[in-house]
Amino acid sequence: MSALELETEMMEVVRLDPTGPRVVAIGGGHGLEQALVGVQSYASRIDAVVTVADDGGSSGRLTSAFSILPPGDIRRCLLALSPEPSLWSEMFEFRFETSDVAGHSLGNLILAAMSELFGDFETAISIAEEALGSIGHVIPNCRRSLHLQAVIDGVLVDGQAAIATSRGAMTELRLQPADETVNPRALEVVAAADQIVIGPGSIYTSVASALLVPGLAEAVNEASADVVYVCNLTTQDGESLGMGAADHVRALLEFGGVKTPLTALIHQGGPPFPAEAESVAGDEEEVLAIGVKPVFRDLLDRSYTWPQHDPMRLGRALEELWQAWHDSG
């Protein structure tokens, strides 16, 4: 069997619902990946608006070496929006474990190579979408790589990776260069969206950082769309340790610039978490007092030892929220 025949046999056909809403998902990391898989069950169009402030791991090394946008979160979104499994998706997921390329995924290297070849990272993304058979589009929130800074307990913390592991009270979160503007394509899809899904993901380094680029939060606030924030299941030892659902919502409003009306989708129910996992407690009255509507659903994926969102459960909950918003309008 040829490689082409094998790929055709392996590929799973996924079709969007032509009668469904246009969904834009904003954020970064593994959480955004789960949201993108979940909304495929009901959306007519899917666009991912991805943070470009990632300086850790393979992404950080490639960004520094080639002056490109960090490819890691973009690669994850491309895979989430692509029929699985396929030969291309297997290649994009492959990670080297030895030699000078240890730690790099082949997909990150392919995106870096295509950016060098065609002179533009967004062109590289478009070509990757076609090669992977993507059913949606991946849009960097800015066309230039950004650097995240924070003031935590009065100390300046430099870089996304360092912020993610820092404990303490966040008083400032900013991007450098400060004068960069939002990718116009991101503004276009947000303005046309029927539903905007924010998160799940690291509240400061993925979610708020995605919205910090000047112009994006304003576009979300002006959009005629159902806006849903998907709260994390657990806190993270560092940036969100000890934070409940209301604390996450406050951080989104204060540092991400999002305004109400807003729905917060919060996990509740299912089997207990492992003892070492600190759950994000959902206090209905406390969230309501902020001016945000809390909705509680069982969103837990039972197939993993460590708590994470089940894309199918998340998709059903988001579809339910969209339908209720649409019917009320």
Mean pLDDT of 99-125: 87
What is the 8-class DSSP label of residue 30?
H
Q: Same structural domain for residues 179 and 128?
A: no
pLDDT at 130 over 50: yes
Q: What is the CA radius of gyration of the chain?
A: 19
pLDDT at 3 over 50: no
Least confident of 3-12, 127-136, 172-181, 243-252: 3-12
Preceding peptide of 200 cis, ω within 30°: yes
Q: Same structural domain for residues 22 and 168?
A: yes
Q: Which of 140, 170, 186 is the last residue of a domain?
A: 140
Identity of residue 215: G
pLDDT at 88 over 90: no
Q: Specify the pTM.
A: 0.92
Q: Same structural domain for residues 319 and 194?
A: yes
Within-domain flag for 8? no
pLDDT at 272 over 90: no
Q: Which of 140, 166, 200 is the last residue of a domain?
A: 140
Q: Same structural domain for residues 64 and 26?
A: no
Q: Same structural domain for residues 59 and 23?
A: no
- The CATH code of the domain that includes 256 is 3.40.50.10680
Give residue 150's pLDDT band: very low, low, confident or very high (50, 70, 90).
Answer: very high
Task: Determine the pLDDT at residue 62.
Answer: 80
pLDDT at 65 over 90: no
Average pLDDT over the chain, rounded to an integer: 90
pLDDT at 67 over 90: no
What is the rounded end-to-end Cα distance, in angstroms, of the chain? Answer: 53
Domain housing 307: 16-51+146-270+278-329
Nearest to 202 by CA among 162, 146, 145, 144: 162
Q: Which of 140, 173, 195 is the last residue of a domain?
A: 140
Mean pLDDT of 187-206: 97
Q: Same structural domain for residues 44 and 177?
A: yes
Tally of domains within the chain: 2
Q: Check if the beta carbon of residue 248 is closer than 8 Å to that of residue 231.
A: yes
What is the CA 282 to chain-centroid distance, rounded? Answer: 21
Q: Same structural domain for residues 61 and 132?
A: yes
Q: Check if the beta carbon of residue 226 is closer than 8 Å to that of residue 326.
A: yes
Task: Determine the pLDDT at residue 14.
Answer: 61
Q: Same structural domain for residues 190 and 316?
A: yes
pLDDT digits (tens, 9 = 90+) for 217-245: 999 999 999 999 999 999 988 899 999 99
